[in-house]
Chains A and B, each alone.
Chain A
């Protein structure tokens, strides 16, 4: 290794919601790529080691190379001429950029939504309806002696979740690590994660709600029908034993993933799980935590919440924020053909939304901000190439337990950050609309 290689200690990986903050990055002597990512998992290693500064144009307008200034002007024109501009994505960028995006939606009286609406949006709705008993991953690491994962596969989706937070760590109260914990999993099929579980409930697909409802009845001592055995595939004896273990633990935690929130029942499934946790608090200390996917999707929820009062699916058409999943969430707005302009930040709805929504995307002006070309950017009126957060861009991200962390980027990028581009667009919109922005310029 060259003597002039740079080492970044305690760098932060923004690949998944674990946001591991103990990565040691080695940057090559030319400062163009990362040669080593110590402590990173397989996903984190790919995230860091495969990132190169590529020779893309900083911006394209209608597929033709353009300067940043020209692209900012074109994007601002698209926005101010729209009656229902929609901003979407935001889960793979910094909180600082997310804040600028909310400001744009506010100034435009537009619509803003994040990828939360297609992953843990039902969880956000359930929080609103039921409430949340929660804890930081640090508290869980130190205290949780009963750990359950429902509808998720952290071994493959969050590979260091076991090692850093919930299964293996030793602590003052759990000196023997995994041996002091009971690990339970609920899923519809065996996974890499279920292999490490002490208890694995393989339930019939689509029966999560019924199982949660039966567990709630057991916890509360209420009447329920034995047909739940047939419906879920789990025997009553097993269920009773599990519930007893949950009631008897010192500190329990229920992690849940999209296997619960995106199956039939959605927000009611998430709500049932949160209600189970509430019920268990009559007997012991129990908390719940969604296992979030994208690196800063939790930050998106936080930023949109503190700026508008709601976590996602927010509409400003009438000058004040309104929240209504299904009405103002982007997949629905596009699916019904309602938006007349779309701005996508660090996401790719063109590759994963419904056919109807994708057809609509192709029929309206689209602005994209992404470090790489995407399917969506192929259809964009204005496409910006931006620097990658965490690797090139500093800022704030939120871990899945709502703990904010400051990024420690490895090397510079020739491309602007999402925040810089969005702020420039915002300021141009303010000029075009005659709005006096009270924004204070941030020092570079």
Chain B
């Protein structure tokens, strides 16, 4: 199914219907008539998109979607390809399938997902893989792969899964983390891992850590090489120095269980 934006929304457009689970088994007419919220107005998908049935289950969406929210929400299967940039809450509560964005994504990419994979070729906003305000649990499984930079609170409350940031991450990366892995190939922002209970945060750069993190040792973590080889296959450039290098291991947050680890490239 191909969707091409023909009318730019003037206010946020909430389009959780753009999802394989909603499209499967429905005719082109039925999909065209599906409801999207343009601010407080209920509209149909066809009011904003030209739909073409190419016979494929993959949903391909074209256009400036930076004001279009909730695409792929609660997705369990299939694939969405977004050619351009996309608005907030992409793939919220997703449990399976794959979303690929060729441009940038706004805040809340992969909010509270528990499966599937989201790939952003550009930058992402705040709160990648985080929980909603008031929830203490973020991503519970699946993968979020950001090739560019991400802003603050990557993986807030993360419990399981993998988040990869190809560039820099903002402040409070891995805040309130319970478990899982966050890999930042660039620079970590301020105060990574605040209140983390368990889990792993990795960076190729040095970072200023909170006083409640303590240095353990410098070593070659075996598992890390496997993770780096895995993300290399996803299209990231990984220097051999990182594959074979040593990493500083820091434990924290001592205000919690002190079982979280931050691994920083040493040499």
Q: Do A and B bind each other?
A: yes
Question: A residues touching B (Cβ–Cβ < 8 Å)?
Answer: 82-85, 108-110, 125, 128-129, 209-210, 213-214, 216-217, 220, 222-228, 231, 264-265, 268, 316-318, 323-327, 338-340
Q: In the complex, are the beta carbons of A326 and B254 less than 8 A apart?
A: no
CB-CB under 8 A from A210, the residues of chain B are 191, 210-211
From B67, B107, B255, contact of A217 by CB (8 A): B255
From B136, B172, B210, contact of A213 by CB (8 A): B210
Distance, CA A327 to CA B108, complexed state (A): 10
* 18 A-B pairs in the complex with CB atoms less than 8 angstroms apart: A83-B11, A83-B39, A83-B41, A84-B40, A125-B133, A210-B191, A213-B194, A213-B211, A213-B255, A217-B211, A217-B255, A223-B254, A227-B211, A231-B208, A318-B14, A323-B134, A327-B108, A340-B10
Q: In the complex, are the beta carbons of B40 and A108 less than 8 A apart?
A: yes
Distance, CA A82 to CA B38, complexed state (A): 11
Per DSSP, chain B at the interface is: loop
Distance, CA A84 to CA B13, complexed state (A): 10
Closest residue of B by beta carbon distance from A225: B211
Given A265-B191, A318-B37, A338-B67, A222–B12 Cβ distance below 8 Å? no
Distance, CA A265 to CA B210, complexed state (A): 13
CB-CB under 8 A from A325, the residues of chain B are 133
Q: In the complex, are the beta carbons of B211 and A214 less than 8 A apart?
A: yes
From A83, A129, A225, A316, contact of B10 by CB (8 A): A83
Distance, CA A109 to CA B211, complexed state (A): 46
CB-CB under 8 A from B39, the residues of chain A are 82-84, 317, 340
Question: B residues touching A (Cβ–Cβ < 8 Å)?
Answer: 10-12, 14, 37-41, 67, 88, 107-108, 126-127, 132-134, 136, 171-172, 175, 190-191, 194, 208-214, 254-255, 258
Given A213-B212, A339-B11, A268–B194 Cβ distance below 8 Å? yes
What 8 A-B pairs come out closest when comparing CB atoms?
A83-B39, A109-B40, A84-B11, A84-B39, A228-B211, A222-B254, A224-B211, A225-B211
CB-CB under 8 A from A108, the residues of chain B are 40
Q: In the complex, are the beta carbons of B40 and A83 less than 8 A apart?
A: yes
Shortest beta-carbon distance from B170 to chain A in Å: 11
Q: In the complex, are the beta carbons of B40 and A110 less than 8 A apart?
A: yes
Q: In the complex, are the beta carbons of A225 and B40 less than 8 A apart?
A: no
Q: In the complex, are the beta carbons of A264 and B171 less than 8 A apart?
A: yes
CB-CB under 8 A from B10, the residues of chain A are 83, 340
Distance, CA A373 to CA B39, complexed state (A): 30
Q: In the complex, are the beta carbons of A338 and B11 less than 8 A apart?
A: yes
Shortest beta-carbon distance from B151 to chain A in Å: 10
CB-CB under 8 A from B37, the residues of chain A are 317-318
Closest residue of A by beta carbon distance from B41: A83
From B133, B190, B212, B258, contact of A264 by CB (8 A): B190
Shortest beta-carbon distance from B242 to chain A in Å: 26
Q: In the complex, are the beta carbons of A324 and B133 less than 8 A apart?
A: yes
Shortest beta-carbon distance from B188 to chain A in Å: 15
From B38, B107, B127, B258, contact of A83 by CB (8 A): B38
Shortest beta-carbon distance from A130 to chain B in Å: 10
Distance, CA A323 to CA B12, complexed state (A): 16
From A109, A110, A268, A324, contact of B191 by CB (8 A): A268
CB-CB under 8 A from B208, the residues of chain A are 231
Closest residue of A by beta carbon distance from B176: A129
Shortest beta-carbon distance from A240 to chain B in Å: 13
Shortest beta-carbon distance from A129 to chain B in Å: 7
Distance, CA A83 to CA B41, complexed state (A): 6
Closest residue of A by beta carbon distance from B191: A209
Closest residue of A by beta carbon distance from B12: A338
Distance, CA A209 to CA B209, complexed state (A): 12
Shortest beta-carbon distance from B149 to chain A in Å: 17
* Contacts A317-B39, A338-B12 known; 4 new A-B pairs at CB < 8 A: A84-B11, A209-B210, A317-B12, A326-B127
CB-CB under 8 A from B191, the residues of chain A are 209-210, 265, 268
Distance, CA A264 to CA B210, complexed state (A): 15
Distance, CA A156 to CA B63, complexed state (A): 52
Q: Which of B107, B211, B212 has the most CB of A within 10 A?
A: B211
From A223, A317, A326, contact of B40 by CB (8 A): A317
Q: In the complex, are the beta carbons of A220 and B132 less than 8 A apart?
A: no
CB-CB under 8 A from B38, the residues of chain A are 83
Closest residue of B by beta carbon distance from A319: B40
From A84, A223, A323, contact of B214 by CB (8 A): A223
Distance, CA A4 to CA B136, complexed state (A): 62
Distance, CA A226 to CA B254, complexed state (A): 14
Shortest beta-carbon distance from A179 to chain B in Å: 35
Q: In the complex, are the beta carbons of A84 and B255 less than 8 A apart?
A: no
